[in-house]
C-alpha cells in the first residue's frame, strides 16, 4: 500500500491486516499493532507534524477539535461502514499531535468466540452485585464486558444503562432497553451520571472505568441497592483489585467499604492477551468468584489470604489464578513455557506448576 493520504485509508489497512491498534506520530511512519507487536506499516513514509495533526483529527467533530485546542487531548469513537468502529485518543507530545486508534468490531463477539469459560457466561444471569473486569490497556476488558452484556440483551427484559468514555461497542435495543451515555457528550462525568442513575430505573449498569473515590463509591452503592453493575479497573490481579478499591477510601471509611465489597462482589476477572503459536492471541484469565471464606477475608481485611483460597477453590468454585490459566494454555499446546514466563505474575510458581505437570505426564507414560 503506497502512501495513503487519509486516516480512513490507514485504518482500513489496519483492519485488513487484522491489527488491533494504529499509531500516528510525527517523525515516524504509521505503526500498527498485530498480535501484540507494534511495527511500522509497509511502504509508508515518515509523517510530518502537519500531516499528523490532519490525520489524527480527521474524524473529530468541530466541538472535539475546539476541546483539543484547550485540553490537548481528547477521547472519541467513530465508525466506518463495512470496515469497523474505532476508539481514538488524540494527544499532544513534543509540540506535535499524536493519536492511537483501537479497532472495535461492529458485531459484538460471542463468549464462545472469545473462549470465555462457562462461569463467565453465567454472569449474565446474576440478578445483582458487582462484576469487575481488570487488566492493562489493550487486554480486552471492554470486549469481555460487551460480550456478557450482549447475552443479557438477548435474554433479559430489563433496562441496561452504560456510562462510557467514549462509547465503544454499540448496542441496539433487544430484549433489554439499552441506553448508552458518553462522558463529555451526554453527561459531564462518571460521578454525575451515577449520581442520577437510580432515578432512571436501571437494572444493569456499566461503569466504563472506576477512576476515583467518588465513582467507586457510587458504583458500590448502585450494586448495593439491588442492581447488577459491571466496571473496569487497571489492575493486574484479583487481590490487587480488592486492595486498590479499599485503599482509595480514607482509613475511617475502609471498614465499611470492606463490608460492602464483601457483600456485593460477584466476580473479578483479570485479563491478559497472549500471542499463540499459530498466530493470533488468546485470553489468559484469572477468575475470582467469592465464596463464604473469601467474603470473610475481605470483610476482616485479610486479603493477603485470598490468593491461597483461589488456588484451592478451582475444583469447587471455578476460580482460577493467572498462573493456573497460563499452565492450562501450555497444556493445550497454545503457548510454550517461555511465552508463559513473560506474562506470569510469579515465574517461580509457574515453573513449579509446569514441572508438576511434566512429572505427571512422565508417570502416566510409564504406566
Helix boundaries (H) for 292-344: 292-299, 306-312, 314-317, 322-331, 337-343
Report pLDDT for 2: 46
**pLDDT tens for each residue of 294-321:** 999 999 999 999 999 999 876 678 899 9
CA pair distance 321, 269, nearest whole angstrom: 10
Of 7, 5, 8, 12, which Cα lies nearest the Cα of 24? 7
pLDDT band at 364 (very low <50, low <70, confident <90, very high): low
pLDDT above 80 for 356: yes
**pLDDT tens for each residue of 172-212:** 999 999 999 999 889 999 999 999 999 999 999 999 999 89
Give the CA dihedral 8, 12, 15, 20, nearest 10 degrees.
-30
Report pLDDT for 179: 98
Burial (CB count within 10 angstroms: exposed 0-12, middle 13-18, buried 19+), residue 74: buried
Question: From residue 90, how far is each of 4, 45, 87, 291 by CA, in Å?
Answer: 20, 20, 10, 43
Q: Which domains does the chain have, with CATH numbers?
A: 7-104 (3.30.450.90), 118-356 (3.40.50.300)
Q: Chain-wide mean pLDDT for the chain?
A: 94
Report pLDDT for 5: 73
CA pair distance 245, 288, nearest whole angstrom: 15
Task: Calculate mean pLDDT across residues 159-183.
Answer: 96
**pLDDT tens for each residue of 37-48:** 999 999 999 999
Quote the percentage of the chain above a pLDDT of 70: 96
pLDDT above 90 for 219: yes
pLDDT above 70 for 367: no
Amino acid at each position: 500500500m503506497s502512501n495513503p493520504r487519509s486516516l480512513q485509508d490507514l485504518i482500513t489497512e489496519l483492519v485488513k491486516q487484522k491489527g488491533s491498534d494504529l499509531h500516528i506520530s510525527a517523525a515516524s511512519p504509521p505503526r500498527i499493532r498485530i498480535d501484540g507487536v507494534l511495527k511500522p506499516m509497509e511502504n509508508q513514509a515518515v509523517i510530518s507534524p502537519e500531516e499528523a495533526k490532519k490525520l489524527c483529527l480527521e474524524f473529530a467533530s468541530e466541538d472535539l477539535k475546539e476541546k483539543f485546542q484547550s485540553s490537548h487531548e481528547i477521547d472519541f469513537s467513530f465508525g466506518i461502514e463495512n470496515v469497523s468502529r474505532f476508539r481514538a485518543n488524540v494527544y499532544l507530545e513534543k509540540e506535535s499531535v499524536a493519536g492511537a486508534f483501537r479497532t472495535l468490531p461492529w458485531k459484538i463477539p460471542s463468549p464462545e468466540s472469545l473462549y470465555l469459560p462457562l462461569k463467565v457466561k453465567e454472569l449474565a444471569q446474576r440478578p445483582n452485585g458487582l462484576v469487575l473486569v481488570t487488566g492493562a490497556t489493550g487486554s480486552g476488558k471492554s470486549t469481555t464486558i460487551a460480550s456478557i452484556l450482549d447475552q443479557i440483551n438477548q435474554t433479559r427484559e430489563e433496562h441496561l444503562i452504560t456510562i462510557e468514555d467514549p462509547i465503544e461497542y454499540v448496542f441496539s435495543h433487544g430484549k433489554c432497553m439499552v441506553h448508552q451515555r458518553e462522558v463529555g457528550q451526554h453527561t459531564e462525568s462518571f460521578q454525575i451520571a451515577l449520581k442520577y442513575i437510580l432515578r432512571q430505573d436501571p437494572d444493569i449498569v456499566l461503569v466504563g472505568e472506576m477512576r476515583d473515590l467518588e465513582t467507586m463509591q457510587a458504583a458500590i452503592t448502585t450494586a448495593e441497592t439491588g442492581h447488577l453493575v459491571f466496571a473496569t479497573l487497571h489492575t493486574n490481579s484479583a487481590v490487587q483489585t480488592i486492595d486498590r478499591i479499599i485503599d482509595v477510601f480514607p482509613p475511617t471509611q475502609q471498614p465499611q467499604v470492606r463490608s460492602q465489597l464483601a457483600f456485593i462482589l460477584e466476580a473479578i476477572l483479570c485479563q491478559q492477551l497472549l500471542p499463540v503459536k499459530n498466530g493470533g492471541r488468546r485470553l489468559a484469565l484469572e477468575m475470582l468468584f467469592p465464596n463464604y471464606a473469601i467474603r470473610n477475608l475481605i470483610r476482616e481485611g485479610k486479603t493477603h489470604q485470598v490468593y491461597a483460597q483461589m488456588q484451592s477453590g478451582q475444583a469447587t468454585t471455578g476460580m482460577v489464578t493467572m498462573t493456573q490459566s497460563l499452565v492450562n494454555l501450555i497444556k493445550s499446546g497454545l503457548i510454550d513455557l517461555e511465552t508463559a514466563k513473560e506474562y506470569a505474575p510469579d515465574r517461580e510458581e509457574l515453573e513449579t506448576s509446569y514441572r508438576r505437570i511434566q512429572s505427571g505426564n512422565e508417570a502416566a507414560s510409564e504406566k
